[in-house]
A and B are shown apart, each in its own frame.
Chain A
Amino acid sequence: MNRDFQRQARDSSPAVERGQPDAREERFLAKLRAKLKDRPKAPHPGPRPVPGAAAGDVDGLVTRFSQELAAVGGRAERCRTPEQLAARLAAVCREAGVRTIALEADPRWDQPRWQPWRRALDKAGCELLRPGDGPSPREIAAAADAGLTIADFAIADTGTIGQWTGTGRSRVISLLPLVHLVLLPAGSLVATRAVVMGRMEAAAAQQGWPSQVVFITGPSRTGDIEGALTVGVHGPGQVHVFIVDVESGEDGN
């Protein structure tokens, strides 16, 4: 992204064109300008080097990710084949008492490389609820035992998965149900948040930022009652990530 404005800011010559400024806004900003007029300006420390997407030791990242997620109360496991996924998903759902799973109208479900994995869901022994012409994602998610999404990225360092919004992608499938099930393509796993930010900035330079990006690190939690850690206060109390060896494909992962 263009960082010229940082130089401009250091020269302190604000010359950006305004959106729809009105008199009030002009007054507000002029007030700040007047306060700052005689102050020596602190320099910006400059951007940090964008960490290279080092060709990864996937196994190492998977191990690290699983440990970090476990440390914050989530679980992760690797499923190398759709058959493994079907078996593990069935087991996890049985254990958690999940009988209905809400899905997103994620365009990736129509991609050929996701088809075998999509079919694996049918074998999990749960009813799949899909938004279509009928109920909205919020109605489905509010009723389902679990929500299942495909992660867009994940960070090994912190046990974080990430998702962004887009056509058909809902903000609430991963939020309203008490159990969040995640399919994470092994190739989307990187070491640090800085790598993710770098990649997102590069992608945004082409197509702009999505309306929302969410970083999810373990279950919803609070310590607001006598400092006692409790999970599932508003969002999921369980986060279960299945790291799947899906072929890398057109969504850039």
Chain B
Amino acid sequence: MRARVRRALQDTALGRAVWRTTDGMRSSRRRAVAAVDDWEAKRERARQIRAHTLDHLDYYLTMLAQRVRALGGHVFFADTAQDAVDYVLDVARRHGVRSVVKSKSMVSEEIELNAHLARAGITAVETDLGEYIVQLGNDRPSHLIAPAMHKNRSQIAQLFSQVAGEALPDDAPSLNAFARRTLRQKFLEADMGITGCNFAVAETGTLVLVTNEGNGRMVTALPRIQVTLMGMERVVPTMDDLDALLDVLARSATGQKMSSYTTLTQGPRRAGEPDGPEELHLVIVDNGRSNMLGGEFQEALQCIRCSACQNVCPVFQHVGGHAYGWVYGGPIGAVITPLLRDLDQWGELAEASSLCGACTEVCPVKIPLHDLLIGLRRETARRGQAPRPYPAVFRVWRRVMADARRWERGLKALQLLQRPLVRDGRWRWAPPPVSDWLAHRALPAVAPQSFRQWWRAQRGMGR
């Protein structure tokens, strides 16, 4: 991770781009939330719905599967990424699918579906504009809902020009117009549409897609087969619950009251309808989520992928999403990546936080993100994998803090030791690992008189 962070910090263009995106979304969110008078009540309801659903996840998934089937859809439960990929490939093969259009799906990023489809000779095109740019650049999304925020206009113009076979101007309207023309053709030709799933309503078998561009509508209107990939935690009990979650989703994400398009899909097209898919498949994916279920990290599954925590995170603002190394960046990524994948390998992500708690404060479903990060650090330490100086430093710290006399002796020792290192009340040099910290920050010197010493002196004078 250190290497990725260093690369990100050296990239000043990236720094500016991340700041622009997160700053814009952060202020939009703030305005939208301020305009709602019972925001805290809405958050609390959203949290309760998500917590209740997760505690009864087997029950609601059973109900969802039953309702989707009653509507004429197919349902498949995928334990692993491989199961999900195999199922999609199988459906594609059975129908002789050659081309696929996709709307945004983070699950498909997790399971690297595009690469698998390509290996099977099937062309899959991302149709969310940001995802399309990311795909052309052979890249990964760097933000939950602004996946191409790390690319600037001229880089995008270059990518598009390669597709066009001619040089395109690099203003946003021209680039959009090119994408509209190119992707329109893909929509009309595709045999299969693959979508993600913002929510699924158990009571009614409804699959919910929220988009601003309308690509989610295209993908569920034009191809003859629809495959929806759903993280198993995305189910909600009722339409009323869906309404409560829609209340907080768009506001937390882009600050809109409602996204441009919200579609509720109940099964494939019916007799007498001129369009929509003839066949609909719902793939319910675990892929590591059950690691969190029933344990101290279950609340992380409440996430509705709004990106609010990314936009307020001081670490994310400096390094962007790629520095987190996998599909999910920011505070939520630092929590779920180690848990979805492998704590031994990814546990260091939990260090990528100042524990300021800004993420917890904005989360629309009240995930205690910074508490979960501390929990992960604890778990990593328990496995003997904490960063090297930590155990020794904290052992000393514990001994010193547990005894007032030791504390005072420690302070006195520091007052003496710091003398050659301090100038103008600040530390100028320190041995590693404190030197890393000093490279970017000022460490005030230990005061010549501690509060306790001062207090004793005051009391002595008063008497």
Is the beta-carbon distance between B70 and A19 smaller than 8 angstroms?
yes
Known contacts A47-B238, A215-B258; is-contact A9 B294 (Cβ 8 Å): no
Is the CB of B264 closer than 8 A to any CB of chain A? yes
Residue in chain B with minimal CB distance to A39: B294
Is the beta-carbon distance between A211 and B275 smaller than 8 angstroms?
no
Is the CB of B149 closer than 8 A to any CB of chain A? yes
Is the beta-carbon distance between A5 and B77 smaller than 8 angstroms?
no
Q: Which of A23-31, A76-84, A115-123, A241-249 contacts B (4 or more CB under 8 A)?
A: A23-31
Interface residues of B in 167-182 (CB under 8 A from A): 172-173, 175-176, 179-180
Q: A250 to B74: give the CA distance in the assembly, Å.
A: 34
Is the beta-carbon distance between A43 and B52 smaller than 8 angstroms?
yes
Q: A175 to B79: give the CA distance in the assembly, Å.
A: 36
Residue in chain B with minimal CB distance to A25: B77
Is the CB of B60 closer than 8 A to any CB of chain A? yes
Is the beta-carbon distance between B260 and A217 smaller than 8 angstroms?
yes
Q: A218 to B213: give the CA distance in the assembly, Å.
A: 11
Q: Which of B21, B156, B173, B204 contacts A209 (CB 8 A)?
A: B204
Is the beta-carbon distance between B213 and A209 smaller than 8 angstroms?
no
Interface residues of A in 23-74 (CB under 8 A from B): 24-25, 27-33, 35-45, 47-48, 68, 72
Is the beta-carbon distance between B172 and A18 smaller than 8 angstroms?
no
Known contacts A222-B213, A233-B180; is-contact A172 B263 (Cβ 8 Å): no
Q: How far is the CB of B251 from chain A (nearest CB, A)?
A: 11
Q: A136 to B58: give the CA distance in the assembly, Å.
A: 42
Q: How far is the CB of A11 from chain B (nearest CB, A)?
A: 10
Residue in chain B with minimal CB distance to A36: B294
Is the CB of A213 closer than 8 A to any CB of chain B? yes
Is the beta-carbon distance between A136 and B275 smaller than 8 angstroms?
yes
Q: How far is the CB of A39 from chain B (nearest CB, A)?
A: 5
Q: A175 to B62: give the CA distance in the assembly, Å.
A: 34
Is the beta-carbon distance between A41 and B243 smaller than 8 angstroms?
no
Q: Annotate A203-223 by CB proximity to B: 1 below 8 A, 0 otherwise.
A: 010001111111111111111
Q: A248 to B94: give the CA distance in the assembly, Å.
A: 48
Interface residues of B in 28-61 (CB under 8 A from A): 45, 48-49, 51-52, 54-61
Known contacts A19-B69, A165-B269, A204-B204; is-contact A225 B294 (Cβ 8 Å): no
Is the CB of B293 closer than 8 A to any CB of chain A? yes
Q: Which of B49, B152, B286 contacts A44 (CB 8 A)?
A: B49
Is the beta-carbon distance between B75 and A137 smaller than 8 angstroms?
no
Q: Which of B112-120, B217-225, B358-366 contacts A (4 or more CB under 8 A)?
A: B217-225
Is the CB of A238 closer than 8 A to any CB of chain B? no
Is the CB of B20 closer than 8 A to any CB of chain A? yes
Is the beta-carbon distance between B214 and A233 smaller than 8 angstroms?
yes
Is the beta-carbon distance between B129 and A32 smaller than 8 angstroms?
no
Q: How far is the CB of A183 from chain B (nearest CB, A)?
A: 19
Is the beta-carbon distance between B65 and A165 smaller than 8 angstroms?
no
A29 proximity list for chain B (CB < 8 A): 58, 61-62, 77
Is the CB of B268 closer than 8 A to any CB of chain A? yes
Is the beta-carbon distance between A226 and B128 smaller than 8 angstroms?
no
Is the CB of B266 closer than 8 A to any CB of chain A? yes
Q: A216 to B220: give the CA distance in the assembly, Å.
A: 15
Is the CB of B424 closer than 8 A to any CB of chain A? no
Known contacts A19-B69, A19-B70, A213-B263; is-contact A36 B212 (Cβ 8 Å): no
Q: A239 to B259: give the CA distance in the assembly, Å.
A: 15
Is the beta-carbon distance between A219 and B148 smaller than 8 angstroms?
no
Is the CB of B239 closer than 8 A to any CB of chain A? yes
Known contacts A44-B52, A47-B238, A223-B146; is-contact A138 B59 (Cβ 8 Å): no
Q: A14 to B251: give the CA distance in the assembly, Å.
A: 34
B274 proximity list for chain A (CB < 8 A): 105, 131, 136-138, 168-170
Is the CB of A88 closer than 8 A to any CB of chain B? no
Is the beta-carbon distance between B262 and A215 smaller than 8 angstroms?
yes
Is the beta-carbon distance between A17 and B267 smaller than 8 angstroms?
no
Q: A20 to B266: give the CA distance in the assembly, Å.
A: 18
Is the beta-carbon distance between A217 and B259 smaller than 8 angstroms?
yes
Is the beta-carbon distance between A230 and B176 smaller than 8 angstroms?
yes
Q: A41 to B53: give the CA distance in the assembly, Å.
A: 9
Is the beta-carbon distance between B214 and A220 smaller than 8 angstroms?
yes
Residue in chain A with minimal CB distance to B243: A197
Is the beta-carbon distance between B52 and A216 smaller than 8 angstroms?
no
Q: Which of A138, A176, A210 contacts B266 (CB 8 A)?
A: A210
Interface residues of B in 233-264 (CB under 8 A from A): 237-240, 242-244, 246, 254, 256-264
B298 proximity list for chain A (CB < 8 A): 39
Is the CB of B448 closer than 8 A to any CB of chain A? no
Known contacts A36-B294, A228-B172, A233-B213; is-contact A193 B238 (Cβ 8 Å): no
Q: How far is the CB of A144 from chain B (nearest CB, A)?
A: 13
Q: How far is the CB of A132 from chain B (nearest CB, A)?
A: 11
A20 proximity list for chain B (CB < 8 A): 69
Q: How far is the CB of B239 from chain A (nearest CB, A)?
A: 6
Which of B66, B128, B212 has most A Cβ within 10 Å?
A: B212
Is the beta-carbon distance between B240 and A47 smaller than 8 angstroms?
yes
Is the beta-carbon distance between A217 and B263 smaller than 8 angstroms?
no
B240 proximity list for chain A (CB < 8 A): 47-48, 197, 201
Is the beta-carbon distance between A215 and B238 smaller than 8 angstroms?
no
Q: A168 to B60: give the CA distance in the assembly, Å.
A: 34
Is the CB of B99 closer than 8 A to any CB of chain A? no
Is the beta-carbon distance between B48 and A44 smaller than 8 angstroms?
yes
Q: How far is the CB of A214 from chain B (nearest CB, A)?
A: 5
Is the beta-carbon distance between A32 and B257 smaller than 8 angstroms?
no
Q: A29 to B66: give the CA distance in the assembly, Å.
A: 13
Which A-B residue pairs are the 4 nearest by beta carbons? A235-B214, A35-B294, A224-B130, A171-B221
Give 17 pairs: A residue, B residue, CB < 8 Å, sorted on A. Answer: A16-B62, A18-B62, A20-B69, A41-B56, A48-B244, A136-B274, A170-B274, A172-B221, A172-B275, A194-B243, A212-B265, A213-B264, A216-B260, A217-B262, A224-B146, A230-B173, A234-B213
Q: A213-B263, A234-B218 are in contact. List 12 more A-B contacts (CB 8 A).
A: A6-B238, A29-B77, A36-B58, A41-B52, A43-B52, A175-B217, A197-B242, A210-B266, A211-B267, A214-B264, A217-B257, A235-B214
Q: Which residues of A contact B (CB under 8 A)?
A: 1, 3, 5-6, 8-10, 12, 14, 16-21, 24-25, 27-33, 35-45, 47-48, 68, 72, 105, 131, 136-138, 142, 157-158, 160, 165-172, 175-176, 193-194, 197, 200-201, 204, 208-228, 230, 232-236
